Structure 1
Amino acid sequence: MIPPAFFFYGTLMAGIDHPLARVWHTALAEGEKGWAQGRLWAVPDPEGWYPALLPGEGRVTGMLHRPLAIFDVAMLAAMDRYEGEAYRRLPITVTLASGAVRAQAYVWQGALPAGAVALEDGDFAAFLARSGETSYRGG
């Protein structure tokens, strides 16, 4: 079943410009800025950095996207494969300027790898901008 909305906070955000995300965004409505409760970490990888959302106190900034009619189960399955076993797609509450809505987000499962960096501001795009690091490009 296709979720009514997704909350992206990292490599799937349109501004990060990941090659696979560009394809999926053709089937998603334009995003709306929002935040979800949690703790955000930046995780290093030889192919670039990626974020990990964990439950906890704090705000994680991102974008809420609603699927268009052309978004299908094959796209959803491809997103799930891209995120892999380290993440689980779970329902969360996202706060928008217009109020709170339910969406699904990929939440980190298990222990964080060595070298993970806490992002106290909860903003992965800002981390990339201030650090000069590049976003994960694998897939």
Structure 2
Amino acid sequence: MSALNVLHVEDDFADALLVQNNVFESGDYDIGFEVVRDLRDARRKLKKKRYDLVLLDLRLPDSINPDDTLTTMQGLCPSTPIVVLSGSMRVDSGAISSEVNQLDKNEYLCGRAAGQQHSLAQILRMSVSDDDFEAI
């Protein structure tokens, strides 16, 4: 398995640790995370380094509108897959315009789906490697 560099944009440090713990518990130690807490810090990181994937919370201290958050991130890294991981995805999915929601290379996860077959690590890897990966 090749290494995967992930920029995790998450303002809640505990949530970021839970995500990393979940990935490492699956046995995938080749996924590296850099965590930033807002879009401003994400912008700085993206100017210095290319990431394989962005894991994005939709409500951040400097962007509380989900549509704006996702659109801004797409503008910062247009060729990088974005996976939205949000504790309020069921609420936020209605706030994301259909145009933004239909763009290629962007996926979202709605908490723990009943019968979920893939670990978070597998989902992150699939979102980078498969253009036809669908939202879960």
Could you state the TM-score of these two structures normalised by the residue count of structure 1?
A: 0.29
Higher strand share: 1
Could you state the TM-score of these two structures normalised by the residue count of structure 2?
A: 0.29
* Higher normalized contact order (CA 8 Å, seq sep 6+, divided by chain length): 1
